[in-house]
Structure 1
Amino acid sequence: MASTELDLSTITAAVVQENSGQIAIGKYVVQIGSVHGGVVNVAMPEEQPHWQPRLAPVLLRPRRFAGLLDRQVETGAAMTVLHTTQPLELYGSPGLGKTSLLRHLAYHLPLTACADGVVFLSAQQHALADLLQFLFEAFHESNIPAKATEAQIRHGLQNKQALILLDDLGLARTEVDALLDAAPNCAFILTSPERRLWGEGRVVALSGLPRDDALTLIEREMARPLTREELAAVLTLCDLLAGHPLRLIQVAALARDHGHSLIEITERLQQAAPVEALNQQLFDQLSPPERRVLGTLALFGGAPVGHDHLAALTGLPDPSPVVESLIGASWCRPTVRATASPAIWPSIGLRPGI
């Protein structure tokens, strides 16, 4: 059998590099390719980012919150922060209204001492580096997609005078110090479920609403005045739940949407541990799809779950109506994506398969 020789001159190499985008970081350009990695190159002059300050004042506020109840002490503390640039932390368990208070303060604090504006950010599950990058980009913009270096961030934030509102902060104590040091002339108001600020600034622990404000909240949620018979029961209810706003809203939802009387709910809560008894009443009203979605969200411990992932995990073609129902009943809180409310799900012991 005659042998044949391979003609190497006819072979050509065709190497195709995937490149879905790139970002400039300092003097380097990171090209993002396939899932297997990317390529880092030294940036050419035309590839280097040029950061420019945004027009001041920067106003990155959340939506307004109307009808804030109580919180005069906290509002007074926030007023003081603007003139001293000492940080203020407002901490307390989920459902006490920390986010609502920040949304109110974003529009009702004088900004005469904050020439560079006001910035609000939901800081839940954000690392220190991400928060610093966000704050830097709030006041600066680049001509190309870029990530600022640590030195650029320190220089860019050093002289800014702004009101910074960070909601649901989860950083460690040393990280909080580093965050405050990066913008020493800004007034920071932080909220968190547990105390994060020690040694300086002012710390205020949020508590439940006073009786009068708690009654106002119940009537607002019921969309009607309370009857004389209901009034005595609701006063007892407010004491049982320590004026906790979220719990009071849930009680009103039980009465308004599921036909329970406020007197009946109060009697049930008096017969057992109030919070656990309320959670059980709320849980008993859930439909099977609602239980399935809530159980799935609870598995993620408060981390956001996207629509497509939630549909795949629950087997529901479109979980949006169910999620909206859970949000309306205060089982979930709307963020960028739906998350299980940590104020509720650990207390009722949700397990996989619910």
Structure 2
Amino acid sequence: MPVEVHAPCGFGKTELLRSIAESEIGPDGRSLAIPRVYFEVGAKTSGDVLYLLVHKLYATDAPVKLSRAECARLVSGSRALLLLDDVPADPSFAGSLVDELPGCGLVFAGERPVLGGRATPLPLAGLSEEAALNLLSRDLGRRIHDHELPLARRLVTAVGGSPLQLRQAAALEREDPRRFGLDRLAAIAERDAAALDRYCFGQMSEGERRALAVLAAVGGAGLPPAVVGAMGDIAYVSEFLAVLHGRGVVERDDDRFGLPVCRAESYWPTLARYVQLASAVRALADWILSMDPTGPTAGSAVEAAVGLLGVAGERREWALVVRLVKVAEPVLFAQGRWEDWRQALDQGIDAAQRLGDRASEAFLTHQKGTLEYAEDRAEEAYRLLNRALELRSLAGAGQDPELTRHNLAIVSPPAGAETRVWRQRVRKTLTYVGTALAVIALVVGVQQGVSALLDRGSPGSGPSSTPSVTDGGTGESGDGDNGGNENGRTSVGQDGQTSVGQDGQTSVGQDGQTSVGQDGQTSVGQIGQTTEGPGKKPTAEITPRTELTIAETTVGEETLSDTVTLANIGDAALSVEAAAITGPDATEFTVADVDCADASLAPQESCTLAVTFAPQTAGAKTATLTIPHTASTSPARLTLTASAVGLLPDLSVSAVTFDGTVATVTVRNDGDGDAPESWTAGTFGATVLDSQLTEPIPAGGTTTVTFSVPRGCSGGSCSYYSVTVDSTEAFVESDDENNAYTYTRPR
């Protein structure tokens, strides 16, 4: 039965799966003879996962394109143990792999189990106390002293043994020990362990935030420092990334840095304002164009492109969408990301239509027709290639239709032929292409060698019993045009055509814009405005519905952003204007329009805003977020509430010294707030002395108070004494359990 390893982000699921994949000995001490494959799923589709697993398990002497069923048959026949990390929470994803791979052992890792009774859930506990203390000591760069052990144990318990949060706590103390001692860190974690993440964010410099923003924008993909620096226009980026890695915020794999997939999404709303999207796209495109699409870094590059493509689409930067798709398309193909390739082409076509860019739409439509043919959907390929030819003629000068005509000649049904016969002919062409790619200008074909692989039903080649790992297939090129991929680039669009006539066919008006007719069908109008049929109207829905409560925050610090979503649940377009914050504490809240400002939301579309709280004074705070829009309920309003805690002092007795009958007590403030005037009480021997007035102590400072002690304690000879700072409890401290200091002479 499959196993689902589940735990919150940062509990070490990846390390566990990697260690299993690399181990040669099983838990019973026996040698592990079966193939083991670690595979990070992330944003990949299940179809692409199957295709890529084939190339992890099998070595081929020629590039191949297999159907999903063929991929599943090969992977299942390998009898491998598949360790699938960062699996999405959609039950259908894992469920489909369970159904298609009965011959494999499956271990899924995610934040929660999704398969119910179809898999064995395995919750991943945090580190043991001993392992957690060792990790904490290592990251502190020092030994944990005996008197600190109770505090360290409190911290370990509060974070549940989470390796990530222990590393964050250690980084906070290492960088600011005066403010973040183990006592303060334990108290913070006991109130809210997630606050450690916010404190780490508050400690970041501008350069560190910009570097982190780039990594969040690309969805966690690993990037070299030079690329991160170019995308974020960051000098000395290697230093910033090293600091972030030391804090446990980013991961490092050789020369690449990335965010855990489970954290990239939560960080992005806060960091979005630090990314100049056009510059980021330009730098990423330059990097991709400089590399071999089949090389070892291409996988990270395509992950980054897919992540940034989502950001560009959310912001409705259609020209950037087209640019990214044209650059990423050859790499998606070469890396075997077939379903992502299809989705990217759909996004590019949609973006080109919104721009009225017929040349790009023609190019991308040609590419999608090529893909449909390669996947044996000849009728759809024929329709798309005809559409591409039409668009090329409409686009005018600079468009060469010969390649599209060439491909059409391959996929066109012969006059008078039955559809069934035509399909059989096309299928035969695809199955036995051999050297056909030198003749037809298509991207990929299925090699005859696939049949042999399928017939054998067993992985590997050569003497090794372990399957060989190879890069994804790359298709051959004919006539010097990169395998029919025109100039080696493509652009993108979203699912479905935006311009559809009453006959279900795609049509385009003079400006490439869409409008909705009275019959509810979408067609392209001759003006750049969208018109709606009678009775249709937009309806705005905000989430959360009425109130957003932000976690408690320390004065002078900034929270990670909370996300607010505005959705159009009506049946006509909804226009959204810039949001604003008003109310008594408006200056302490900020809102960033991630993709809502001046947006036009089609029915069932939504946009997001990021609300941040940076209190200037302590206390309860409230304000109102207002979002104007064109629905009848405008504006949308949301009450914002939060609480701020002031910077608190933390008094303790640092030392007691004696000079005859005078005892001098040193009082230290280990907090991050100044301590006002207070009283210090002392008891020496059997004598309770009056309290002494103690002057104000700044954060990190000390002062002294003196007591006249009885003769029996002269020179510190008394058998017992006790000193209590802030004895009247005049103010709140971050830790009031260390106010009393007691000495008892050993017997």
TM-score where L is the length of structure 2: 0.33
2:125 & 2:102 partners in 1: Cα distance? Answer: 30
1:131 & 1:141 partners in 2: Cα distance? Answer: 17
2:253 & 2:142 partners in 1: Cα distance? Answer: 29
1:319 & 1:344 partners in 2: Cα distance? Answer: 19
Tell me how far 1:303 sits from its aligned partner: 5.2
Aligned partners of 2:220 and 2:259 also within 8 Å: yes
1:170 & 1:143 partners in 2: Cα distance? Answer: 33
User: Structure with the greater relative contact order (CA < 8 A, sep ≥ 6): 1 or 2?
Assistant: 1
2:53 counterpart (123, 132, 135) = 135
Which of 1 and 2 has greater Rg? 2
Tell me how far 1:148 sits from its aligned partner: 1.8
Counterpart check, 1:352 vs 2:272: yes
Q: What amino acid maps onto 2:6 in structure 1?
A: Y
Aligned partners of 1:165 and 1:190 also within 8 Å: yes
Aligned residues: 268
Q: What amino acid maps onto 1:96 in structure 2?
A: F
Unmatched segments (≥5 aa) in structure 1:
1-85
Counterpart check, 1:194 vs 2:112: yes
1:293 & 1:114 partners in 2: Cα distance? Answer: 41
Aligned partners of 1:251 and 1:265 also within 8 Å: no
Partner of 1:249: 167
Partner of 1:275: 194
Change (3 A) 1:162 1:170: same
1:157 counterpart (67, 75, 82) = 75
Q: What amino acid maps onto 1:109 in structure 2?
A: G
Counterpart check, 1:288 vs 2:206: yes
1:340 counterpart (259, 264, 275) = 259
1:212 & 1:228 partners in 2: Cα distance? Answer: 14
Tell me how far 1:140 sits from its aligned partner: 2.1
Tell me how far 1:309 sits from its aligned partner: 5.7
Task: Identify the range of structure 1 (105-114 vs 93-102) with the bigger mean alpha-carbon deviation.
Answer: 105-114
Q: What amino acid maps onto 2:2 in structure 1?
A: P
Tell me how far 1:181 sits from its aligned partner: 2.9
Tell me how far 1:291 sits from its aligned partner: 1.6
Q: Could you say what secondary structure the match of 1:146 adopts? A: coil
Change (3 A) 1:263 1:155: closer
Per-residue deviation, residues 121-158 of structure 1 (Å, max 9, x unmatched): 11111111111012212222222222222242233234
2:57 & 2:193 partners in 1: Cα distance? Answer: 47
Percent identity of paired positions between Structure 1 and Structure 2: 26
Change (3 A) 1:344 1:136: closer
Change (3 A) 1:133 1:267: closer
Aligned partners of 2:212 and 2:271 also within 8 Å: no
Partner of 1:98: 13
Unmatched segments (≥5 aa) in structure 2:
275-747
Q: Could you say what secondary structure the match of 1:203 adopts? A: strand
Change (3 A) 1:160 1:237: same
Change (3 A) 1:185 1:271: closer
CA RMSD in angstroms comes to: 3.1
1:271 & 1:113 partners in 2: Cα distance? Answer: 44
Change (3 A) 1:285 1:345: farther
Counterpart check, 1:219 vs 2:137: yes
1:335 & 1:299 partners in 2: Cα distance? Answer: 19
Aligned partners of 1:331 and 1:344 also within 8 Å: no
Counterpart check, 1:88 vs 2:3: yes
Aligned partners of 2:216 and 2:268 also within 8 Å: no
Partner of 1:326: 244
1:268 & 1:345 partners in 2: Cα distance? Answer: 28
Q: Could you say what secondary structure the match of 1:124 adopts? A: coil
1:166 counterpart (75, 84, 87) = 84
Tell me how far 1:88 sits from its aligned partner: 0.7
1:251 & 1:335 partners in 2: Cα distance? Answer: 22
Tell me how far 1:90 sits from its aligned partner: 0.4
Partner of 1:109: 26
The within-5 A match list for 1:277-316 is 278-302=196-220, 310-316=228-234
Change (3 A) 1:142 1:274: closer
Structure 1 stretches of 4+ with a deviation exceeding 6 A read 110-114
